[in-house]
Amino acid sequence: MLTTALRATPSATSSKSFVRRLEACGGVAAAEIAILEAALHAPETYRAGELLHPPRPGAPPFFMVSGWACLARLLDDGRRQVLAFLLPGDGVGFDLLTQSRESTSVLALTPVKVQRVRQSLLGEITGCPGVNRALAVASDQQQTRLIDQVVRLGRQTAYERCAHLLLELHGRLAEIGETQGDAFRLPVKQEVLADALGLSLVHVNRTLQQLRRDQLVEVHGGAAILKDRQALAATCEYRSGST
């Protein structure tokens, strides 16, 4: 069955997902990778539902090792807006977007493993030209996705928003080898999707069903399959990497 097939997804290529991500963002010398790895603390783990940013305001940046998290803002009356999804390999706290802000929090959506940068060696990292450039590219992608998010919320229908987000997640997961063709694990509740898409839980549910009825996607049991990526992309004007 689909769910079982996708349950365990051992990282294929490199041992560390963030290494793969950085390499995808531009040539990083092997020597630099070594420096980087030496500058990291041992992995920390968080449970789903835990907040992992605000604890310490001046907390050092870290890399997502495994699991899903999100950047979110909470409103006083309980409303919540997910600003961005944080996937394995993503750096958090390196760029402006993910830097600690009082009104913004990082929330673990699944069990999450991260590796923080040693405060004392932060300079070492930003000193590496290759790593530095890779981080800048990653930051640029992050920024591009935030713009996409604005467009989705402001000017796209529920149907388009869902399609667009699913394509974005597929694209990002593909980069770190966490897809099987058109299928990927989607370990988030529909409630979280709703808070990312600016919709109600119920409406996300119905919209996903509509996409399924149209033979475009299949979302079930924590996994998604994009049955017709091209048609999906046409529906929502999706541009991979977003030009």
Partner DNA sequence: CGGTTGGTTGAAACCTATCAACGGTTGTGG
Partner DNA sequence: CCACAACCGTTGATAGGTTTCAACCAACCG
Q: Contact between 198 and DNA (CB under 7 A)?
A: yes
Short-list 192, 181, 176, CA closest to 224: 181
Q: Contact between 5 and its own copies (CB under 8 A)?
A: no
What residues contact residue 71 under an 8 Å CB cut-off, 6+ apart? 82, 83, 84, 86, 97, 98, 104, 105, 106, 107
Closest distance to its own copies from the beta carbon of 77 (Å) = 8
Q: Contact between 97 and DNA (CB under 7 A)?
A: no
Comparison of 6 and 158: residue with beta carbon closer to its own copies: 158
Closest distance to DNA from the beta carbon of 128 (Å) = 40
Q: Contact between 202 and DNA (CB under 7 A)?
A: yes
Q: Is 205 exposed, middle or buried (0-12, 13-18, 19+ CB in 10 A)?
A: middle
Q: Contact between 179 and its own copies (CB under 8 A)?
A: no
* Cα–Cα distance measured from residue 3 to residue 54, given in angstroms and rounded to the nearest whole number: 34
Which residue in the set 119, 209, 215, 240 belongs to the binding site for DNA (CB under 7 A)?
209
Q: Contact between 191 and DNA (CB under 7 A)?
A: yes
Which residue in the set 189, 214, 227, 228 belongs to the binding site for DNA (CB under 7 A)?
189
> Helix, strand, or coil here: 211?
helix
Which residue in the set 70, 86, 199, 224 belongs to the binding site for DNA (CB under 7 A)?
199
Closest distance to DNA from the beta carbon of 159 (Å) = 6
SS3 sequence, 97-149?
A: CCCCCCCEEEEECCCEEEEEECHHHHHHHHHCHHHHHHHHHHHHHHHHHHHHH
Whether the Cβ atoms of residue 199 and residue 207 lie closer than 8 Å to each other: yes
Q: Contact between 113 and DNA (CB under 7 A)?
A: no
Number of Cβ within 10 Å of residue 52's Cβ equals 21
> Helix, strand, or coil here: 82?
strand
Partner from DNA, its own copies, none contacting 97, C-beta within 5 to 8 A by type = its own copies
Closest distance to its own copies from the beta carbon of 177 (Å) = 26
Comparison of 95 and 182: residue with beta carbon closer to its own copies: 95
Query: Which positions lie near DNA, rule CB under 7 A?
Result: 157-159, 189-191, 198-203, 205-209, 220, 222
Query: Which positions lie near its own copies, rule CB under 8 A?
Result: 73, 75-76, 79-81, 83, 96-97, 101-104, 139-140, 143-144, 146-147, 149-151, 153-155, 195-198, 237, 239, 242-243
